[in-house]
């Protein structure tokens, strides 16, 4: 078989017989191991009802279930998780830090997108307000929050995916795991939005492999044998377009009688904010989404355990998938059993630390300039510089950023405070509707707040 692939391989056999025999032995070993695994497993029926095999997932473990289109993150973690060897060499740095995709991802909002209690509450609220549109709401929201369940149902001819199906489907509950990103059809990314995802069942894409350093088809064969997919390299996978479909949400608006108005409203536009930012349009400042959310390490990393011969990736994009939602990460960490999560307290603490670092170092800079004191009046200029590649805050419209400005006398007594956060997470003195933008703040009830403010057909507010 080897000689028929190319004349070059035939010549190689004549010059290096021992190496080729070793290579052939490895190929035979991989094939036999794959055959053993397949024979040892109970055949999986991808068309079982949602309460069947795909409903079974021990608490605290990643799902290993499979369907026609997808597989659970537990399957991928077999190689791309913790290296279980006595002396680990894969998914680990020279300092012993675990950088495996599965472990870095487990405590993120992406991993917990289908179990996010705020998202679940908001979906329930939308259904209660618009009950006749329940099917549309659930089908739309689960495209991005539970994509493997939602699109497997579509593949199986199920017209409407329900929250009950989600709760009984380990693939749906796996959230935005490995395949929802890596199995996207790479051609056409960045051109569809609002969760209009397209998948290939037998292909996963990743960053370009370095063929010159020895990434040869043997590794492809291993993935094909063990999990039935073909890894395909593409430069597009390192670009922001991979994130576009779910990080732009356009919804069709309704009037108060729940009738469509015919208008389309862009509710979330994080990807398009990046498209129009300096991070996309400036040569000097150019940075893809992955640059902040999946920071690279220049240290060479072997990416699959059990394959010591693999050449390391360098640079290596770490699956931190870090954002700015520290509140929800803490809530998830403190309710692991109640929410049936697969991550541990340590996973969430790691993500929380990275989130705080991202907020403090990569989000914004603040500069305070004293402009002098005139009698009983002190003047200051506060300058904020957005360092994110999009609006700050961005995404879901409940998010807000605000300036907390306090002054104290020489004895430590507070004499002025604009932006005091209250225990219920409102801000002392804020307007009931929304806080206008201020060029000049002169009293404590004026608060500089940055947030998305939406209007409706009766509000009459000019939010510009």
Who wins on pLDDT, 26 or 11?
26
Who wins on pLDDT, 39 or 294?
294
What pLDDT digit, counting tens, does each position of 241-265 carry? 999 999 999 998 888 888 888 989 9
pLDDT the model gives residue 284: 86
Give 320's pLDDT tier (boundaries 50, 70, 90): very high
Average pLDDT score over residue span 329-345: 97
At residue 177, does pLDDT exceed 60? yes
> How would you classify residue 372: left for phi > 0, otherwise alpha for psi between -120 and 50, otherwise beta?
left
Average pLDDT score over residue span 367-378: 92
pLDDT the model gives residue 57: 74
Look up the pTM and report it.
0.84
Average pLDDT score over residue span 193-208: 92
pLDDT the model gives residue 53: 55
pLDDT the model gives residue 285: 86
pLDDT the model gives residue 464: 40
At residue 10, does pLDDT exceed 90? no
Give 115's pLDDT tier (boundaries 50, 70, 90): very high
What pLDDT digit, counting tens, does each position of 128-150 carry? 998 999 999 999 999 999 999 99
At residue 16, does pLDDT exceed 70? no
Who wins on pLDDT, 459 or 4?
459
At residue 385, does pLDDT exceed 80? yes
Give 213's pLDDT tier (boundaries 50, 70, 90): low
Average pLDDT score over residue span 49-71: 77
pLDDT the model gives residue 45: 35
At residue 81, does pLDDT exceed 70? yes
On average, the pLDDT of the chain sits at 85
């Amino acid at each position: 078989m080897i000689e028929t692939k190319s004349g070059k391989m035939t010549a190689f056999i004549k010059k290096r017989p021992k190496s080729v025999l070793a290579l052939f032995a490895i190929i035979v070993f991989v094939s036999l191991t794959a055959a053993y695994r397949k024979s040892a497993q109970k055949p999986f029926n991808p068309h079982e009802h949602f309460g069947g095999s795909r409903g079974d997932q021990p608490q605290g473990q990643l799902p290993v279930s499979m369907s026609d289109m997808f597989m659970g993150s537990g399957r991928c973690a077999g190689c791309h998780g913790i290296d279980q060897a006595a002396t680990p060499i894969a998914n680990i740095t020279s300092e012993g830090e675990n950088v495996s995709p599965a472990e870095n991802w487990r405590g993120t909002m992406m991993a917990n997108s289908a179990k996010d209690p705020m998202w679940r509450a908001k979906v329930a609220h939308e259904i209660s307000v618009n009950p006749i549109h329940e099917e549309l709401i659930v089908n739309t929201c689960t495209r991005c929050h539970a994509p493997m369940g939602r699109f497997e149902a579509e593949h199986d001819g199920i017209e409407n995916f329900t929250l009950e199906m989600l709760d009984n489907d380990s693939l749906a509950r796996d959230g935005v795991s490995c395949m929802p990103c890596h199995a996207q059809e790479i051609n056409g990314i960045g051109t569809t939005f609002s969760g209009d995802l397209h998948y290939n069942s037998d292909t996963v894409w990743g960053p370009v492999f370095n063929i010159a350093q020895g990434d040869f088809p043997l590794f492809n064969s291993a993935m094909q044998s063990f999990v039935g997919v073909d890894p395909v390299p593409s430069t597009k996978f390192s670009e922001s377009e991979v994130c576009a479909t779910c990080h732009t949400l356009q919804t069709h608006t309704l009037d108060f009688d729940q009738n469509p108005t015919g208008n389309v409203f862009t509710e979330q536009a994080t990807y398009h904010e990046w498209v129009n930012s300096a991070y996309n349009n400036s040569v000097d400042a150019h940075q893809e989404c992955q640059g902040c959310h999946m920071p690279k390490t220049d240290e060479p990393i072997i990416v699959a355990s059990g394959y010591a011969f693999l050449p390391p990736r360098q640079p290596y994009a770490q699956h931190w998938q870090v954002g700015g939602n520290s509140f929800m990460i803490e809530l998830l960490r403190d309710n692991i059993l109640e929410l049936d999560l697969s991550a541990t307290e340590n996973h969430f603490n790691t993500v929380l630390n990275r989130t705080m670092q991202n907020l403090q170092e990569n989000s914004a800079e603040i500069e305070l300039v004293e402009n002098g004191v005139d009698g009983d009046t002190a003047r200051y200029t506060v300058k904020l510089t957005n360092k994110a590649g999009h609006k700050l805050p961005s995404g879901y419209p409940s998010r807000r950023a605000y300036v907390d400005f306090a002054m104290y006398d020489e004895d430590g007594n507070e004499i002025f405070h604009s932006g005091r956060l209250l225990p219920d997470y409102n801000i002392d003195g804020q307007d009931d509707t929304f806080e206008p933008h201020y060029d000049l703040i002169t009293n404590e009830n004026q608060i500089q707040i940055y947030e998305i403010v939406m209007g409706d057909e009766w509000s009459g507010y000019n939010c510009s």
